[in-house]
Structure 1
């Protein structure tokens, strides 16, 4: 009998040890009883503990409300269960901040999205009050059905150095590589509902909130996470990007691989390179009248091109492809299809052309950027971070088929060399150029339109 008791106690001790250490060392962020270790920031939405849950209630005429941990975290595995009433938008902040000198203490930082809308971006990653969408689930459409409307949903979040990964109900949703690693708090959001009385009093519920702080060994099993990877590393490629065939189109420090569109060398004025940013300088607002456009020395046929750009107020520029620098040797820009870069609010060109086909993200003077054509459940035609913030252009060319993406959202799609294409060209400013846009290959161009615009993270994958 004593021997059996000894074995029982040994097994019990081992199980206790395993529970404390072997089960991932997860610690409760919420004790199930009260809000010890948490604090409310920004808005007026109430948070309370009922039946082992944290419940946040939406209120009218309040900014976003956050229940934040008093402790900050850097590298961790965060898990929680979440359920919310119909019609609400919410999320959980990670590595976030609230500083008096940043918008009077407004909470900002990465947020793991939670929503029950038909847009289907639960598990995506948004940068609250700072950088905008970093990983909308249009990057991973297979995960849009992971969230179960009206039910408890299990979220898992891994943050390690500049890697952020998410799962919803064990389905991989987001795989983000950020510019840098940050340390910050975890926070539960009750989103602003404005004056919408129909959403007043609705509930968001959280339970089973645990966290494990991790090191490189803990992260190792997740390195090859299945969701498509999206990277914002400055002028660098991740190992996965290299394996997938991506190459830097600009190295971040030199002019290698580029020349003036009408020169055999890089322009000696009008462009600068500093701190990993390639910048076209402010001049007279004229088209290619200062340093002039720059183009890749190499020509490209089928590819995925990504370019991060930052506008100044009222600026105009563009990314062109299928450029033939032998055309238009006179004044003005070289000829090619153009992903328009424009401050739609302050530049007059936004109101010219036809039905907005000269606005940001559009195929300039031909097709208007409109994400609602491809996802009718978006709340807006396109997501724009505004001037003085970075935006991401993505251009996909596969034979005759071409698409433009702005900040991860498809906004333009067309097919070249068709009757419809030629009809569009005939009604545009390009009608005087024979066979416009029908070349099999061409240079890639960054435009000098006399306004200051910055570029970085210029990379390409040939198909």
Structure 2
């Protein structure tokens, strides 16, 4: 790919969130495409809420009640304000400031069901899914209950963090699901990094996000004085748990590699050099070497999967390939790559050997967000692009040459590819003829000076019981 100019704007949004991401040993990987299945692509429409995920559904436990109809046993209010009453088998929340009633139990993968009734007049509420709890603060994923004219009930709001992730702008079927004049049933399904919301059995949100894999279920009162929000029939099914499993990190790098492998489970083809120093995978290429593209590819095959990559980029043009096929001739791969560089295109999707660019970062902005919300997303993207350096052991924090560790998360489910950079959505695109499975690979672009380090590469997998 050709080089692209960089345009960034300083912004204070997402600083705490991206610092949290970078400070952890996060990693992202992707899968590569067997054959020459270089896809045709849908336009930038909102993703269909009918799930693209064809993976085997997890085994769920029996549904159990979260509310006994008589007391708030199992629930607590982490705020110094707000009142909860139990009346006729219902939970009644009142208050003059926003607060949440949350479960004592932390949930991982689950399916929750509950009913909500909003009062007449100005009101707002919702259900927290995997809520993060601190004294006088609850933040995280919220399934919105919004009775205003915009009708975004069932949309995904990141409370106390990134604001709207899935507003229901121009999604008429989802917007019509909530009925202000009746009890409304919500079903919330969280499995791995996949979030699905239903309002009265109408699908309203189908979203992949890397922020939280566990948390508490919560009920919101938005703080409208004199207004009471009612909840009932609250149940949950445990659906297991997911965890990040390393495909490369300092520990795996210390193990013996098989014949032909550079590191355990990874082989190289083409130009450039791959080495490991102090547990960090280093990829290097140069103009002087005049070599073709190089790849480090995983010997495993992947179908539906989510990957996390922690990398540090200095110069050049790299990428992370998904569901691709390794070939014998330059560029040695056929498939879709997630761009890794220091340009405005980082996190975008590019078809090597095919159509070229299929999705640039923020391609979704004008079709999924109303005009008054777009600047917020742009500011968050600029902040994600400018994550400050996070020193690790051996780094010199004062050294300006020390580049920041970045976290990219890539989800590939069905024909849908979703990329996040430092917690901010870069691309969410459906590639029609994406292969059913393939390998993953890291790229060293040929005939240029390139320097990139990888601290870890992980795949999200169910926890075996």
TM-score, normalised by the number of residues in structure 2: 0.45
Larger radius of gyration: 1
Normalised by the size of structure 1, how large is the TM-score?
0.45
Q: Select the structure that is richer in helix.
A: 1
**Structure 1 or 2: more strand by fraction:** 2
